Structure 1
Amino acid sequence: MITQIVTLAGVLLGALTSFVATGWAERVKHRRVLATRWDERKLDTYVQYATCVKEIAAVAKRAVDAEAGSTARAEFLATMEQAEIRRSALFETLVLLASPAAVEAAKAVNAALWETEIAARGHAGVPDGAVLIELLNAYHSQARLDLGVGNPTGGT
Structure 2
Amino acid sequence: MISLKPLTRRIVYVSTFEIIAIAASTLLLSLLSGGPAHDSLPVAAAVSAIAVAWNYIFNTLFEAWERRTQRTSRSLILRSVHAICFEGGLFLFTLPLYMAWYHVGPWEAIKMEAALLLFFLFYTFIFTLVFDTIFTLPGQKKQEAAATPADNTEGLPTEALR
Bigger RCO of structures 1 and 2 (CA < 8 A, at least 6 apart): 2
TM-score over 0.5 for the pair: no
TM-score of the superposed pair, with normalisation by structure 2: 0.27
